[in-house]
A = this chain, B = another copy of it.
Amino acid sequence: MSGERLIYLPLGGAGEIGMNAYVYGYGRPGKERLMLVDLGVAFPDMDTSPGVDVIVPDVSWLVDNLDRLDGIIITHAHEDHIGALPHLWPLLKKPVYARRFTAAIGRLKFEEAGLPLDAIITVEPRPAAVEIGPFKVQFLPLSHSIPESAGLVIDTPAGRILHTGDFKRDPTPIVGEGWDDAVMEAVAAEAPVKAMMCDSTNVFSPLPGRSEATLAEPLTELIAKAGGMVVATTFASNVARLKTLAEAARAADRSICVLGRAMKRMVAVAEETGVLTGFPRHVTPEEALEIPRRNLMLLVTGSQGERRAASAALSRGKYLGFEMKPGDTFLFSSKTIPGNERSVLRIMNALSETGVDIVDDAGGKYHVSGHANRPDLEHAHRVFLPDMLIPMHGEHRHLREHVRIAHEAGIAGMVATNGMMIDLTGEVPKLAEHVETGRVYLDGTALVGALDGVVRDRIRMALNGVAMVSVILDEQNEPLGEAWVELLGLPATGLGERPLNETMETELTEFLDAASGKILSDDDRLDEALKRIVRQVAMEEVGKKPEVRVVISRLSAE
């Protein structure tokens, strides 16, 4: 095996929370056989990526080495792990391996995108194994906030790797297999773990995580006490939470109605695949409207304030016939992901105006995280006893802190961010090479590079407004008619209350009338001069520097 090496290369998810995409390879340098783990999206925001639909990792390195790629694994069905699959699979076209629930979600996505369903292969959990090139992979059930999250036990000619995926240490997760030290210790006992790629999301949470099961009592109590209608929102994919909420509702003699496409789909797939059993019967919205409010609980999407989801719709007024009323209770059984605060608060305040009682997770009573906290990470390190630890699924500060913890425990750790190809063959991780990566925007149906300037132009327009100038010249470079200015996103009037575009048109026309043939005949110089005038007027009149575009039309006598 001399001359062969084991490599790890994050293309997304390492140095950010979102768009997970991790490559493993084994073979001679530059000839390694490759396997991709996860292909997720990140979400856009107005500050940095307005108008973008989703953000996907740049997989051009994989496309360039497509003959070496043997397969794709999806660890679980959260969007940041599976969301980019339908968008990027057509560039890769390799078999996709996932557990039953994840595969079912994947197939729904493939169906919508018109992709072949048989590209997705259902795998059974460990001890079953699937061979992908030089890798033998077992899917290790781990608890998280979605059914059937899987860690990966990856056996390679250079040793065993444990890729945790997203996980928490939850002995009683309500849905799916709980954490059992004996089960985990067996992984390390079978073969020493050479490297552990580990979830870092909650590395800054100092207390041990709490089990999903601890929520049943407070939620049951809360819902029992509530008057009026109860509406509860959480992450659509948190099927265990939905079950707990539904059972609490049933205990309070309330019927359950699920609103929101994503949530209905998750419940349906979870029931179909057998991961969710005993979920109370839920009624249709039409049936629910006939039930007294006191006997009804809605389970709805939109815990992050998404404008089009059910929570936001209900806060704005009627939604599918439902309307919030004073005395109703609205429960956020969720945490707000950083960046979504404003949207969530907007909903809360709108509900407050209606007289609805809002219950959120301020006290930590009605939500638990799906990720391992610092003491749980330390416990996992002790159980799997890896030689090396490479943190993933975190911003830079999370990865750095996670490495610090590993070092304290005597484990060789390394911060490996997107694009860093790490050689795991030796005793300690070593940087092998830097690979070009980045973010690609799915914008409508087009894929646009994050640095292409399209989104930069949008941000500039949003900050500065736009002025469009049209001038027409004849064959002798004489202006025909007057300059025309259209404004978008600029104050309508400047000083003296005169329309801003008229002030610009006056100045432009004066300039054109006085300009030399040398300038008028030169598109570039003319364009520059007209832009300068528009910017100057805008600055003087309204104190802004708009984006300016000039259309110079030259007419010839045909």
Contact = CB atoms under 8 A, between A and B. Distances in A.
A547 interface: yes
B338 A488 contact: no
Contacts of A343: 47
B458 A489 contact: yes
A395 B351 CA distance: 12
Given A46-B50, A461-B461, A491 B455 contact: no
B444 A491 contact: yes
A325 interface: no
A205 to B, nearest CB: 9
- Name the residue in A15, A45, A363, A543 with the highest tally of chain B Cβ atoms < 10 Å from its Cβ: A543
Contact of A46 (B46, B352, B444, B480): B46
A551 interface: yes
Contact of A461 (B338, B395, B466, B539): B466
Contacts of A47: 46, 342-343
A443 B363 CA distance: 40
A480 B455 CA distance: 33
Given A443-B542, A465-B458, A551-B468, A353 B396 contact: yes
A555 B556 CA distance: 13
Contacts of A265: none
A150 B443 CA distance: 51
B51 A543 contact: no
A433 interface: no
Contacts of A46: 45-47, 50, 462
A231 interface: no
Contacts of A51: 462-465, 489, 544
A542 B465 CA distance: 23
A182 interface: no
A489 B461 contact: yes
A396 B555 contact: no
A486 B549 contact: yes
B472 A553 contact: yes
A445 B537 CA distance: 13
Interface in A303-346: 338-339, 341-343, 345
B45 A342 contact: yes
A114 interface: no
Interface size class of A (residues with CB under 8 A): 35 or more
Nearest to A547: B488
Contacts of A455: 489
A279 interface: no
Contacts of A61: none
B446 A494 contact: yes
A115 interface: no
A549 B338 contact: no
Given A342-B45, A458-B461, A445 B542 contact: yes
Interface string A471-505: 01000000011001010111111100000000000
A13 to B, nearest CB: 14
A491 B446 contact: yes
Contacts of A461: 458, 461-462, 466, 488-489
A511 interface: no
Interface string A12-47: 000100000000000000000000000000000111
Given A444-B539, A444-B543, 13 more contacts: A51-B464, A206-B363, A349-B396, A351-B397, A355-B400, A446-B542, A448-B491, A454-B490, A454-B491, A454-B492, A457-B489, A461-B461, A468-B551
23 contacts: A45-B46, A46-B462, A204-B362, A338-B345, A345-B397, A349-B397, A350-B396, A352-B395, A443-B542, A443-B543, A444-B491, A446-B542, A446-B544, A454-B492, A455-B489, A457-B489, A458-B461, A458-B463, A461-B462, A461-B488, A472-B472, A481-B555, A488-B549
